[in-house]
A and B are shown apart, each in its own frame.
Chain A
Amino acid sequence: EIVMTQSPATLSVSPGERATLSCRASQSVGTNLAWYQQKPGQSPRLLIFGAFTRATGLPARFSGSGSGTEFTLTVSSLQSDDFAIYYCQQYNYWPSSTFGPGTKVDIK
Chain B
Amino acid sequence: QLQLQESGPGLVKPSETLSLTCTVSGGSISRSSYYWAWIRQTPGKGLEWIGSIYYTGSTDYNPSLKSRIIISVDTSKKQFSLKLSSVTAADTAVYYCARHLNREPFDSWGQGTLVTVSS
Interface residues of A (CB under 8 A from B): 1, 34, 36, 42-46, 49, 55, 87, 89, 91, 94-102
CB distance from B81 to the nearest CB of A (A): 18
Given A43-B111, A94-B103, A99-B47; 17 other pairs, CB 8 A cutoff: A34-B105, A36-B106, A42-B111, A43-B112, A44-B47, A44-B109, A87-B47, A89-B105, A91-B105, A94-B60, A95-B62, A96-B62, A96-B63, A97-B49, A98-B49, A99-B46, A99-B48
A45 touches B109 (CB 8 A): yes
Inter-chain contacts of B109 with A (CB < 8 A): 43-45
| Interface class of chain B by DSSP | strand
Q: List 27 contacting pairs A-B, 8 Å CB cutoff, sorted by A.
A: A34-B105, A42-B111, A43-B96, A43-B110, A43-B112, A44-B47, A45-B109, A46-B107, A49-B104, A49-B105, A55-B107, A87-B46, A87-B47, A89-B106, A91-B103, A91-B104, A91-B105, A95-B52, A95-B62, A95-B63, A96-B62, A96-B63, A98-B49, A99-B46, A99-B47, A99-B49, A102-B46
Inter-chain contacts of B61 with A (CB < 8 A): 95
Inter-chain contacts of B64 with A (CB < 8 A): 1
How would residues 69 to 91 of chain B score, 1 for a CB under 8 Å from any chain A CB and 0 otherwise?
A: 00000000000000000000000
CB distance from B104 to the nearest CB of A (A): 6
Count of chain B residues with Cβ under 8 Å from any Cβ of A?
Answer: 22
Question: What CA separation (Å) do A45 and B107 show in the bound complex?
Answer: 7
One of A1, A46, A96, A102 near B106 (C-beta < 8 A): A46
Question: What CA separation (Å) do A41 and B61 show in the bound complex?
Answer: 27
Interface residues of B (CB under 8 A from A): 46-49, 51-52, 60-64, 96, 98, 103-107, 109-112
Question: What CA separation (Å) do A87 and B106 show in the bound complex?
Answer: 12
Inter-chain contacts of A42 with B (CB < 8 A): 111
B64 (CB) vs chain A CBs: closest residue: A1
